[in-house]
Structure 1
Amino acid sequence: MGVFTSEKSKEAFSNIDGAVENEKSTEKTTERPPSYNQADELALAVPQLNLGGTGTTNDPVSADQCVAHLKLLAVLADLRDSISNNDGLFGLFDSEAERFPASSNEANVRIREKRWAVYTARADLESPEYETIVDSPTQVVWSPDNMPPIDILMVWHSHMLNPRDFLEDCIRYGRMSTWRTGFPFEVMNNCIDDRTLEYKTPESSQQTFENKVNLKWDNLLDPPGKELECPRCKKPKTVLWTEGGIGESLQEAFKENTGYADASFEAKCQHCQLLINHERLKVAKFYQDTFDLVQLNQPMPGSIYNLDGIPEGPRNFRIPLSWTNMIFPSRLLKCIDRDMLAFTDPRLDRCKSIDDLRSHMEVRLRDRKVLLAINGRGRSLLKGERIHFRRMMAHYWDNSSPFALDLVGAVIRQGTFVQKMDNIDWLHSPTVMETSERLIKKYKVFMDIMLQNPSKMAVPTLDVDLAWHTHQLQPRHYYNYSTMATYHGHRQFIDHDDKVDENKLSDGFEWTSKMYRRATDGGIYSECTCWYCEATRAPDIYDRLFSIGSSSRARNNADSLHDRPDISSDPERNPHISAHNAVRPTTRATEDPRVGHLQRIRLHQNYEKAARRAEKRGRTRSDAKSSKDGGYEPMYYAPYAWGYPMIVPYYGPYMCDPGISVLAVLGTAALGLVVGVLLLARVVVWGLLPVLVEQVEDAAEAAAEEGVEVEVAEEDVAVAAEVVVDAVVVVVADLPEE
């Protein structure tokens, strides 16, 4: 077995672990900084920033870097707003919304979203071309003269926020100088005007870009079509970016459009008559990757790093199992290269979609002769081999670009975070530096939680996410920082997944809040009093059989939030859960759709308890509206998506951004049968028992730490006794009528 690397990427492997930086300690402050939203709406409160260095072991990022990052996000928010509101851009007119008088706001949202998606697709086209300008064998020397246009900077920003994918692409395409150098904070900051927040570079940089890339600095000035190479005959074919209208249904807006930036893209080659679509382009990508593997020894996607995200190779004449698992996709394709190249050759057109490719490969993986040739014995695949095979295939499902992920989708999902940061508007706060220092401390606790629990999913709040994103924009330093700690003898390169099932995101947020409370001896993770945050922390700090130790202190801290003038129940004004990566499950492999239904039931329960608790203490919540049955309803939420209010009947910040549409969404199944009711009730009851057991274990653990006697509050006993009965009642009452 050989190492599957091209000449471009051999040098990359040797530099990953050698990129260790000298860390410097920083002084710690014990003063509590001012609150997050003490803002001055008149002037931008950005001091002179020192952006010459990187983070240290004690502080992975600096406050100056966080502020510079906020400036970039403000520029991107303005760009997003400008493009989406440009009536008629790309042939998309606001007047189409008039066809839906009962849902005009939603129609306008979909039109603005579509303009932004097309603009982002055009930016993605320019990104790989521009890399040839700044590529260097060692380190990129950034200056105002070689800075890219803002749309390319935006795409690079989103690419870096998927650290494992970014590392893989840099290794496979020999762009390690970009990985070593990281994001040009200092030069970028100097290119943004502090008063107008406009991104400006010298005229010379614009001329260099246009001459070398043969595209306009402003991508709106580029031609309305994209020149595409036919996969079969290699002749050029010009296709429109988007073609068609909004359609007859807002739930499937623009679904039938046939432009390159549309889901149903189709174009017939006038030379060979091949019908070109996204599926055939994905197959052509796979064919090219397999060809490069065979001819250039360039490893296949998904075979660059091991299960812990660490690129590795044979060490001291010893071949670790993790390495053989890691390169399994490349070993497999080298073994069956002739068959796969013939099957996916665009000239033959035998394979028309990724589904066809998967079915064909599954047959080969069941062939004992193939397994014998790969592993020396005809046995089933190891777990690690199966995972790396799935990783390889994941690069092709929704992605025909040369990169490890669909960057257009990544940019659009990041738009949610960009908009939330713009709404909070820390840049106009006179305490922006103190705010940044505070969130860095919180981020360090968050990182410790992730490092100590590698099998769990930790979910950041918005302030933590800002520091986390800022850290990831220094890829080499982020890699060193997240891999320097070991857990049970091995390192892990912590990834930032920007596509997470919304149900798992909510569960992860509740778990992270609990771990943060333990790590900080009673600290509140999400300093927010919106109904969702109240409902999320209630089980951990209120619905307990015993209230001692950090849980008792957390309860006091949570109660004090209602007395602080800087804390609001408006979810737009507080840095609570960061859910820009929430996606709805769309495949058969996802969880039962009843999981989301149960989650809403559970949150509703917890919220009602929080509202009753506040009422008993004489602090009626402003958003606590009584329901017909004597309970409380969570406040209806109307977030602004692309400038229009979108009513969300049952709001949770973990829910998908209403400004990001999904063509295929699995809805909650109607459970009209009695069998369905009983099954659902059983799931709720048995799902709550482990929670009660865990509370007892937590109490025992806290008692041992504190050395105090266990006291049981009367209110806690009543809550524990009622919770199962209430759950079953709510399940039956909340079922769909159909």
Structure 2
Amino acid sequence: MGPNSYGAPLEYPYPELFHVGRWPTSPLIDVAQLKGHLTLLREFASLKSTVDALEHNAGKACLDQMPEEKDRRWAWFIGRAVERFERWCKTLQIRDSEKRIENWLPPLDVIMVWHAYMLNPSWYREDCSRIHVLGILRELGRQFSDTLGTTIQYLFQKKPTDARITNWITKTSTAFDPLEAIVTTRPVRCPVCRTSLEAALMKEDGTGYLQQNFLLRCTTEECQGLNITKETLAVKKLAGDLVRESPKLRSFLAGTLRTSTLEIATARATKVKEAIMLAFELKGPVGKNDEDWRQAIMKNVNYSLDHLQKIMAPKVRGGDGRLIRRIFSAYTDDKMFSVDLVGATLRQSLFVAKMKNLRWTEHGFFDKKEDEVALKHAIARYHAFLDLMSSSPASFFVPTLDIDLVWHTHQMMGSKYDTHCLLLVRRLVDHDDKVEETKLSSAFDMTCRAWNTRFGYEYTHCGCPVPGETIGQKLSRLVINVTSAPYLLPPERDNLLAATHPSDHNAVYAFHRKSSKKDREKRRKKMSHREKREARNAERAQYHHDPAFLIPVPIYFQTPGGCISSSGSVVCNTANAGGASYAPGAGGCGAGGSCGSSASCGFGGGDGGGDGGGGGGDGGGGGGDGGGGDGGGGGSGGDGGGGCGGGGE
């Protein structure tokens, strides 16, 4: 299909069906929901800007403990937000879900933490199944996700209702405005004598609850100066779950209730706990209650997580120790959550920053229909990504930024996400919240190869204008022979083209590993070499970006299975009966029809040849210092937090 007789460009039609695995499906996420999610991310970005601009001399008591350095300040703010989130969760009641959302929705900082929690779907669903108040949270989450495609913009445009503010203050006894809330301590119960103590969140000597070297002494006569740390609190939490016996799911250990094919695997969880409790050191004292039993376990392991893990590990065999590591990853402090929500929220903040840098979070950025093409591209590519995961259950695939945005939005749909995954991918697809940088880099390279093998075209395409090129010239070079068919071009806005940059905001940098340090240094040298070469050729382009700058491909048109070929023509696959338009995974390309240009920014591979080419070349993954940097483990500048899909356990 070409341009009409007047030379007007074709509209971008939305595919009627996508194929994921064996099944055709209507779109799982729509443009309105993506816009709603971007509205939410815009509010998060605005909140961070406000916190960054705070001054100590603002005259607010709540800012007395605020660090000067911006990154530490943001971590401090998120730590307080997690405290406020937990305080709110503990007050939730069934009747809260019967209220209108504008009357119960918590403050923005709390929503931000909740959002990061949702984006760890396996842990979020399991915690909500095990813990009663979190089950109520999940019900409220359904209401919140329903607003993404409808009223979310109005919720944030209007001032909070009096009922909403009153509800929050009544439940938490803190101010609604996070910048007015004075949260400086946290109640901590001594693991031994159970005395309720107040732990300062921040202390000058670095021993506050939100700080790395947390230390609190219990001075009761029974404890005689016992040192309370995050580890002793975690041992108490795990020992409590070990001795808890009840028909409720709360009695199961965190990390044992969900598998890749079952939302609630009570039979497995029961067997795991029964096997663990056969350990001699964990047997309960005769005639004692659960509290005495818990105390006995803590003393037997000397309040040490390592000691407890050595006792439990031999009882949990199989899976190369993955299950026991999963269990212990949920026990790091005394919070009810199985996820480190401070770390998760920090990592998601870096994804938000990427969306902001792309300008996708700006008001009105996608108001025009032609601009919505970028979002439709993202949705189409996400369905292809799900299809790729369905084809290789054991593989670990890395999304690009546009795909990750849609994936995040889908995860916010709660039980709908689980249902879709089980039906289409045949397993519950988790979103790995943190991945070591080297693994992320190699996984992205594997994703590129798998995508090319399954769909017949490249996963990523270089979208950065080389020095001296305009964005229009770059696009013309990407799609050959398009001068007579401009409708085949991607959106002609350079800040849209960056959207398929690899999403590595879940990268975890292992600075203690010599191999990781060596890889980072190699990538730095490669990027330096490339920059010097480009500087010799011409001035650098005005639009700057991280390495491995990518654009979405293919563009779909309303032809049966049609997509762009490397020659610039439309390749039709007539095998799809009924006239429906199909996207990747449906056999979308006809024989020999690859989509888009074959020139690629290499990423995560070896030295490769030239500047790119199938994962070699410049731009390689996983760089950056201090959780940031220019390489990006998987490709977006060393961010940490959002996701890779992989096989089940």
TM-score for both structures, normalised by structure 2: 0.66
Tell which deviates more after alignment, 204-213 or 175-184: 175-184
| Cα root mean square deviation, aligned | 4.6
Q: Report the Cα offset of residue 521 of structure 1.
A: 3.6
Q: Report the Cα offset of residue 193 of structure 1.
A: 5.7
Aligned AA (2:430): D
List structure 1 segments (4+ residues) > 6 angstroms apart after TM superposition: 188-191, 340-343, 558-561, 606-612, 635-639, 651-654
Whether the 8 Å CA contact 1:172–1:299 is kept in 2: the answer is yes
Task: Note closer, same or farther for the CA distance 1:638–1:443 as it changes in structure 2 (3 Å cut).
Answer: closer
Is 1:594 aligned to residue 552 of structure 2?
Answer: no
Q: Report the Cα offset of residue 179 of structure 1.
A: 3.7
Aligned AA (1:345): Q
Q: 1 CA distance for matches of 2:405 and 2:131?
A: 29
Is 1:481 aligned to residue 420 of structure 2?
Answer: yes
Q: Report the Cα offset of residue 204 of structure 1.
A: 0.9
Whether the 8 Å CA contact 1:446–1:460 is kept in 2: the answer is yes
Corresponding residue number in structure 2 for 1:440: 379
Corresponding residue number in structure 2 for 1:166: 124
Task: Note closer, same or farther for the CA distance 1:384–1:514 as it changes in structure 2 (3 Å cut).
Answer: closer
Find 2:502's aligned residue among 577, 581, 595.
577
Deviations for 1:204-228, whole angstroms, at most 9, x for unmatched residues? 1211222233333234423422232
How many residues were matched structurally?
508
Corresponding residue number in structure 1 for 2:187: 227
Find 1:338's aligned residue among 283, 302, 320.
283
Matches within 5 A, 1:187-336: 187=147, 198=157, 200-219=159-178, 220-244=180-204, 257-271=206-220, 272=223, 273-293=225-245, 298-306=251-259, 308=260, 310-311=262-263, 324=268, 326-336=269-279
- Match of 1:437, SS? helix
Q: Report the Cα offset of residue 114 of structure 1.
A: 4.0
Matches within 5 A, 1:139-158: 142-158=100-116
- Which structure's residues are more often helix, by fraction? 1
- Structure 2: where are the runs of 5+ without partners? 1-8, 15-23, 57-61, 286-290, 467-475, 551-589, 595-607, 617-649
Corresponding residue number in structure 2 for 1:455: 394
Q: Report the Cα offset of residue 168 of structure 1.
A: 0.6
- Match of 2:244, SS? helix
Q: 2 CA distance for matches of 1:515 and 1:348?
A: 48
Q: Report the Cα offset of residue 183 of structure 1.
A: 5.4
Is 1:122 aligned to residue 83 of structure 2?
Answer: yes
Whether the 8 Å CA contact 2:501–2:548 is kept in 1: the answer is no
Task: Note closer, same or farther for the CA distance 1:190–1:293 as it changes in structure 2 (3 Å cut).
Answer: same
- Match of 1:268, SS? strand
Is 1:66 aligned to residue 66 of structure 2?
Answer: no
- Match of 2:398, SS? coil
Find 1:358's aligned residue among 291, 306, 330.
306
- Match of 1:345, SS? helix
Is 1:471 aligned to residue 392 of structure 2?
Answer: no
Corresponding residue number in structure 2 for 1:22: none
TM-score for both structures, normalised by structure 1: 0.59
Task: Note closer, same or farther for the CA distance 1:86–1:270 as it changes in structure 2 (3 Å cut).
Answer: farther
Task: Note closer, same or farther for the CA distance 1:477–1:385 as it changes in structure 2 (3 Å cut).
Answer: same
Q: Percent identity?
A: 23
Task: Note closer, same or farther for the CA distance 1:522–1:269 as it changes in structure 2 (3 Å cut).
Answer: same
Q: Report the Cα offset of residue 637 of structure 1.
A: 8.7
Aligned AA (1:152): V
- Structure 1: where are the runs of 5+ without partners? 1-28, 35-55, 97-107, 245-255, 315-322, 372-380, 532-553, 625-634, 640-650, 655-703, 709-718, 728-738
Q: 1 CA distance for matches of 2:198 and 2:516?
A: 46
Q: Report the Cα offset of residue 329 of structure 1.
A: 3.3
Whether the 8 Å CA contact 2:262–2:428 is kept in 1: the answer is yes
Q: Report the Cα offset of residue 564 of structure 1.
A: 8.0
Whether the 8 Å CA contact 2:32–2:148 is kept in 1: the answer is no
Q: 1 CA distance for matches of 2:216 and 2:464?
A: 52
Q: 1 CA distance for matches of 2:202 and 2:421?
A: 41
Whether the 8 Å CA contact 2:85–2:113 is kept in 1: the answer is yes
Whether the 8 Å CA contact 1:74–1:197 is kept in 2: the answer is no
- Match of 1:239, SS? strand
Aligned AA (2:324): F
Aligned AA (1:437): K
Matches within 5 A, 1:432-581: 432-485=371-424, 491-526=426-461, 528-529=463-464, 557=479, 566=492, 568=494, 574-581=499-506
- Match of 1:580, SS? coil
Deviations for 1:216-259, whole angstroms, at most 9, x for unmatched residues? 32344234222322222222222221111xxxxxxxxxxx5111
Corresponding residue number in structure 1 for 2:318: 383
Task: Note closer, same or farther for the CA distance 1:349–1:84 as it changes in structure 2 (3 Å cut).
Answer: farther
